[in-house]
Amino acid sequence: MNGSPTSVAQPVTAVPGSRTIGEIADLYINRELSWLDFDARVLEMVDDPDVPLLERLMFCAIFSSNLDEFFQVRVATLRSQQDAGSQAVSPDGLSAGEQLAAIRTAIAPLLERQEAVLVDQLLPQLEEQGVTIVPWSRLTQDERKHLVEMYEQRVFPILTPLAVDPSHPFPYISNLSLNLAVSVRNPATGERRFARVKVPSLFPRLARLPGSYRFVLIEQVIAAQLPTLFPGMEIEGWWTFRVTRNADLPLEDGEADDLLVAIETELKRRRFGRSVRIEINTEMPDEVEMLLLHQLDLTDADVTRHRGPIDLTCLKELHSHDLPALKFRPWPNITAGRVVAADTAGRSLFSVIRERDLLVHHPYESFASSTEEFIEQAADDPAVQTIKMTLYRTSGDSAIARSLIRAAERGVQVAAMVEIKARFDEATNVEWAKTLEQAGVHVVYGLSGLKTHAKCVLVVRADEDGLRRYVHLGTGNYNSRTARLYEDIGYFTCDPDIGADASQLFNHLTGFARMQQYRSLLVAPEHLRTQLLELIEREMAHGAAGRITCKMNSLGDPRMVRALYEASQAGVRIDLIVRGVCCLRPGVPGVSETIRVRSILGRYLEHSRIYRFDHGDIDGGPVHLIGSADMMPRNLDGRVETLVPVRHPRHQMWLDSVFDFQLGDDIGCWELQASGEWLRRHGTIDVQHQMQRWVEERQRPRGS
């Protein structure tokens, strides 16, 4: 093992022998600090010389985007709890105020590290490759002329300078907007005023200069032309700033007669959420900073100061340019072998699924040629009578939604459970819900008090031997864009029990049916928690022969953490692959000595949830589960989730191979220590590249 530890979590103290696991707060890593640990791991990818330059910039942008969401949701929630005088504490024993203080302490060094890597390493290295973000002061006369013309034609007409004086109140600053704070002086009277100019977001932040890969930040172009906005005034200075607001929708389903209207109303209110953070330039004068803090009802503790550009999510724009030498080498788009064979023979995916269940692994295997094709064929197949589907996050230009519309227009009964409460995708989902409804799709917006996070498609088809239900269940969203970036598993089956369960699930989602016991599916919130606890207990009965292997996005549910601790005390070997939040401490003597926790980051976002219990079957054999649920309170108690058992030996072998690769001895990963620190292992093997080669090898025709 090598590398340096990275952690903002609190260290564990000695475990008193007289207390139970459930009573020991320091056995639980704080959820918010664990989330920041995850973003710290993202930041380590920015500093990794083995990652191509533009990919490092992309990780830099992802780090910033992650922090934006963290402040909009997690910090905002803690601020609300603190303001309300809540006495509640987190499982690790911290109050809202204590968590906010710990967050502030943790974030400062992360931001300093991000800026140091960007300013001192990445930007100079990019310039060596001919890609430069150029300050206005370094532009040639011709370049300035080009930008001034662009400004006059495209930018100046949409700018609105807003002054602050007795007749002009302080303007509203919208969430995550980039702004210029401008100090102007009237040369005739000597009077000084503050003004705000909002940087428009209608076009790219990085203005490209013709015939080159030289870019200028649009705010520098605007700043250079401030005299055109304040004619006759002296510009004493300008500084950028950005405000983050509470963006968590407070809607309680039971309060709304019309959920769609209520969500649209709350989306408008989101713009006016309480301020929770302000980002400013280090050069901003104290008097301007104090004015902003006073007007935004913030304190010095809510300020982050930057010596480089504010809002580094704009670095994603550089990644969009055609610079293959500075990016990951593209991997071939592979279609699952059985799908290729069927297509070659002119057979449908339904015939493939009738022969045997189909398992696909994205993006190593194509999402378009499997999941999208399945829904497209269902939409056009005259034998298909019904299509039912859940949509949690979908893309703005969704081929799947278009297939549903086409099916409805030709008379197929189509029902879509569109989750319009999916955070930060509400607006997209609202628009799709309206479009689908106008086309004749039966649209349901969600269940009261729950989000529908399950990934499920049910197709009822009139086969030659009678009606048959075809089901797709997955770990990822029905989103063609993220399907190329997120690692996920998709499972197709026409198993009668799973088909019956899927019908029951949709009846629950669209009607008034109560959640009942299912034959094969594990479904939250009614049964999933209990069934997972039973599977853990079943392994405990086998002592040291028991084994649990789980891959998930997050592990933060206290009861699940406690159950895994108890299983470890019984001798069960437990391997956990957790990409993000992990509130469990592995390797604590007497508590979790048999537990290992890894985190893997790479060119793909590890998104699949896979669970294996070696003695989970009633007959004592292994149980493999895939689906949408993490071990988090929200997944187990606050959402409709599904896990499906994968029973075919070939498919179980595939899932076991995923575990074998990701638990290998010489792969690059992070390992969680009992102290709460994440220690990076710089292995010689890139596990995602290894997986890609393995998939390519399995799809290669024999003898080739």
279: Cα separation from own chain's centroid: 23
The pLDDT of 235-247, averaged and rounded, is 95
With vertex at residue 221, the alpha carbon angle to CA 216 and CA 223, rounded to the nearest 5 degrees, is: 130
Compute how many other C-beta atoms are within 10 angstroms of the C-beta atom of residue 14.
8
Of 79-93, 207-221, 447-461, the range with the highest mean pLDDT is 207-221
pLDDT (tens digit per residue) in 31-72: 999 999 999 999 999 999 999 999 999 999 999 999 999 999
472 in catalytic set: no
Q: Which residue has the higher pLDDT, 526 or 268?
A: 526
pLDDT above 80: residue 490: yes
How many Cα atoms are found within 13 Å in the side-chain-facing hemisphere of 604?
26
pLDDT value at position 206?
Answer: 97
pLDDT value at position 168?
Answer: 80
List residues bridging with 213 in a β-sheet.
131
CA-to-CA distance for 30 and 202, rounded, in angstroms? 39
The 3 state secondary structure assigned to 452-496 is: ECCCEEEEEEEECCEEEEEEEEECCCCCCCHHHCEEEEEEEECCH
Contacts 24+ apart (CB under 8 A), 425-431: 425/392, 425/393, 425/394, 426/249, 426/263, 426/266, 426/267, 427/267, 428/393, 428/394, 428/395, 428/396, 429/391, 429/393, 429/394, 430/260, 430/263, 430/264, 430/267
- Whether residue 622 is preceded by a cis peptide bond, meaning omega within 30 degrees of 0, is no
Q: Are strands 303-306 and 275-281 parallel, antiparallel or unpaired?
A: parallel
pLDDT value at position 263?
Answer: 57
pLDDT value at position 448?
Answer: 73
CA-to-CA distance for 101 and 93, rounded, in angstroms? 14
382 φ, ψ (degrees, to nearest 5): -65, -20
With vertex at residue 633, the alpha carbon angle to CA 632 and CA 635, rounded to the nearest 5 degrees, is: 65
- Is 181 strand, coil or helix? strand
Q: Which region among 93-97, 268-272, 351-355 has the lowest average model confidence (pLDDT)? A: 268-272
pLDDT value at position 516?
Answer: 74
CA-to-CA distance for 547 and 406, rounded, in angstroms? 47
pLDDT value at position 422?
Answer: 55
Helix (H) or strand (E) holding 439: none
Instruction: Kindly indicate the confidence band of residue 703, based on its pLDDT and cuts at 50, 70 and 90.
Output: very low
pLDDT value at position 423?
Answer: 62
Residue 472 corresponds to which tokens in the numbers above?
């797709």
Residue 130 corresponds to which tokens in the numbers above?
């001919």
- Is 203 strand, coil or helix? coil
pLDDT above 70: residue 252: no
The pLDDT of 544-569, averaged and rounded, is 97
Q: DSSP class of residue 129?
A: T
Q: Which residues, 6 or more positions from 256, have their beta carbon under 8 angstroms from its beta carbon?
A: 262
pLDDT (tens digit per residue) in 63-109: 999 999 999 999 999 999 999 999 999 999 999 999 999 999 999 99
pLDDT (tens digit per residue) in 567-587: 999 999 999 999 999 999 999
pLDDT above 60: residue 23: no
pLDDT above 50: residue 249: yes
* Per-residue exposure over 115-151, b if at least 16 CB sit within 10 Å of its own CB, e if not: bebbeeebbeebeeeebbbbeeeebeeebeebbbebb
pLDDT value at position 255?
Answer: 41
CA-to-CA distance for 225 and 216, rounded, in angstroms? 14
Residue 371 corresponds to which tokens in the numbers above?
């999941």
CA-to-CA distance for 271 and 253, rounded, in angstroms? 20
- Whether residue 49 is preceded by a cis peptide bond, meaning omega within 30 degrees of 0, is no
Of 362, 453, 624, 651, catalytic? 453
- Is 224 strand, coil or helix? helix
pLDDT above 80: residue 701: no
pLDDT (tens digit per residue) in 664-679: 999 999 999 999 999 9
pLDDT value at position 381?
Answer: 97
Are 631 and 557 in contact, with CB atoms under 8 Å apart?
yes
CA-to-CA distance for 468 and 493, rounded, in angstroms? 11
Rg of the chain over all Cα atoms, to the nearest angstrom: 27
Residue 488 corresponds to which tokens in the numbers above?
């996920």
pLDDT (tens digit per residue) in 380-390: 999 999 999 99
Considering only CA atoms, which of 517, 133, 553 is closest in space to residue 308?
133
Residue 500 corresponds to which tokens in the numbers above?
């019956």
pLDDT value at position 431?
Answer: 79
pLDDT (tens digit per residue) in 601-635: 999 999 999 999 999 998 889 999 999 999 999 99
Are 475 and 453 in contact, with CB atoms under 8 Å apart?
no
- pTM over 0.95? The answer is no
pLDDT value at position 270?
Answer: 56
Residue keyed to tokens 């302490």: 105
Torsion angle, CA of 222/224/228/230, rounded to 10 degrees? 90
What is the average pLDDT score of the chain?
91
522 φ, ψ (degrees, to nearest 5): -105, 120
Residue 683 corresponds to which tokens in the numbers above?
């292995």
Distances (CA, A) of 645 to 268, 415, 554: 42, 25, 20
pLDDT above 90: residue 546: yes
